[in-house]
Amino acid sequence: MNDSVGVDMAKNRADLVLKNGLIVTPGGVIEGGVAIADGKVVVVGSDLFLPDGERTIDLAGKYVLPGVIDPEVHLGSHRPLADDFRTETRAAAASGVTTWGMQLTSLFITGGADKVKGPADIPNFTQAMPAFYAASRSSVIDFFLTPIVSTEQHVEEIPQLAKEHGITSFKIHLQMQGPWKPAWPHYAFDDGTIYSAFEAVAKLGPPAIALLHCENWEIARVLENRLKATGRTDMGAWDDRSPWITEAGHARTYLYYARILGCPVYVVHATTKETLAEIDKAKAEGAVVYSEVGAHYLVLDKDAWKINVPLRDRSTHETLWRALASGAIDCIGSDHVAHTRSRESMETGNVWTTVSGFPSRVEGMFPMMLSEGVNKGRITISRLAQVVSENPARIFGLYPKKGAITPGADADLVIVDLKRKVKISRDILHTVTPWTIYEGWQATGWPVMTIVRGHIVMEWPEGEPRATVSDSPLGEYQRRRGA
């Protein structure tokens, strides 16, 4: 690589200059720094070629990565969306996330699920968008929206959402299909809805994509009844209720339909070798398929908690790490939710009555990748930058504005101290959630600064008890453009 890139600047002085760092690029790691002006990267390279800055920071050999782009968060699922934007985007900033992909049902946005008496009461996203924009005003980081398609009406408005709101990604919770039920008031759809959604997304052209949660609950129902009959109540029974066949079987079926209809697909929660085999098969047959895994599937086993899709047996960890490092898995996603309940009030000692979905996943995601991945030799730091930033930016239509440290890109950066040792506890977190699944873990490697479009939104100086996160609502909605 040349000593510097983009040295022709409109002005001779930058707003912020980072020096004496290790810049992580797709081609490797280079020594030097980054200059930022007007929220954009303007120079990348040797310190000798960097301009003066209104503020200059000596990174003392720390790593500089493009800001984390987390494609999967479910705000508004347990309290009003505006409240979650206010607290949880700060939690995300504390963990290096600069852009967050909001995967929301229309009722997560508008509220009022308790008032839905039938499918006709489920609001359209066109109706919900004003409430979405209003709720997002307190966001500290940038964000985009992936609507969760759950009715025929949602499919019909896909072209309008793309044109008017710059939305190019649409998710389908395959496990929720079927007639409307009071227990799941957000959903009323079937295979015909999915077929039509694939058609609509395909017609938009790149970078439009359909996201699939693969988990066949109709099979899981049968297995759950058998497990209950044998007296199983342990947490690990949740994986046995919804094993690999429920995930891989859905992948096989719906990747086939997507290929026939020419619809690119992103498989959320690819957690088994059988699912990865189905993705490889679909690619070989001509399908465009990407996949995601959560950091929690790489470090926690099925006895830790119940979530969907389930945590798997510890024997799967190395298989998933290798798939992530090799390119068989493309992205990392937190699947973050915000509970306000204590662990004691959620965990009953019986898996069937324990509240599903452990919280505070976003603040564990990137640190786990650094500590358990990079520092243990399972993934290089350059590959990590790809899976947490460049790949999601490309897949979700944000690249090269996001996901790269190159002149002209948004100055979204995360500074990493690979030697920082942190004992994880509730006291260091910023989420509203009063507990973390990683309580007591000793991590080595931690994000110590987050920068969003040139603004420092998080700093954790050495010796301070926890990171300081900005209260400024700097976040901007990211419109995406299709073909």
Residues β-bridged to residue 416? 63, 447
Helix (H, G, I), strand (E, B) or coil at 438: coil
- In the chain, list all ranges with CATH 2.30.40.10: 4-64+409-469
Sort strands 13-25 and 4-5 into parallel, antiparallel or unpaired.
unpaired
Q: How is the chain split among helix, strand and coil, in percent rounded to 5?
A: 35, 25, 40
What CATH number labels 4-64+409-469? 2.30.40.10
Query: Which tokens is 382 given?
Result: 């350059």
- In the chain, list all ranges with CATH 3.20.20.140: 67-395
Q: If we measure between CA atoms, which residue out of 198, 291, 212, 214 comes closest to residue 250?
A: 214
- The whole-number pLDDT of residue 26 equals 80
- The whole-number pLDDT of residue 11 equals 52
Sort strands 468-469 and 455-459 into parallel, antiparallel or unpaired.
antiparallel
The pLDDT tens digits for 208-257 are 999 999 999 999 999 999 999 999 999 999 999 999 999 999 999 999 99
- The whole-number pLDDT of residue 121 equals 96
Assess contact for 393 and 399: CB atoms under 8 A: yes
Query: Which tokens is 56 given?
Result: 């200059």
Which residue ranges of the chain lie beneath pLDDT 70? 1-11, 483
What gap in Å lies between CA 84 and CA 90, rounded to an integer?
10
- The whole-number pLDDT of residue 10 equals 44
Residue by residue, what is the 3-state secondary structure of the chain?
CCCEECCCCCCCEEEEEEEEEEEEECCEEEEEEEEEECCEEEEEECHHHCCEEEEEEECCCCEEEECEEEEEECCCCCCCHHHHHHHHHHHHHHCCEEEEEEEECHHHHHCCHHHCCCHHHCCCHHHHHHHHHHHHHHCCCEEEEEEECCCHHHHHCHHHHHHHHCCCEEEEEHHHCECCECCECCCCECHHHHHHHHHHHHHHCCCCEEEEECCCHHHHHHHHHHHHHCCCCCCCHHHHHCCHHHHHHHHHHHHHHHHHHCCCEEEECCCCHHHHHHHHHHHHCCCCEEEEECHHHHHCCCCCCCCCCCCCCHHHHHHHHHHHHHCCCCEECCCECCCCCCHHHHCCCCCCCCCCCCCCCHHHHHHHHHHHHHCCCCCCHHHHHHHHHHHHHHHCCCCCCCCCCCCCCECCEEEEEEEEEEECCHHHCCCCCCCCCCCCCEEEEEEEEEEECCEEEEECCCCCCCCEECCCCCCCECCCCCC
How far is Cα of residue 72 from the mean position of the Cα atoms in its chain? 3
Neighbours of 234 (CB within 10 A): 14
The pLDDT tens digits for 325-335 are 999 999 999 99
Residues β-bridged to residue 477? 143
Fold of 67-395: TIM Barrel (3.20.20)
Distances (CA, A) of 304 to 114, 289, 347, 472: 31, 30, 11, 36
Assess contact for 257 and 287: CB atoms under 8 A: no
Q: How far apart are the first and last CA of the chain?
A: 32
Angle between helices 158-165 and 191-204 (to 10 degrees): 40
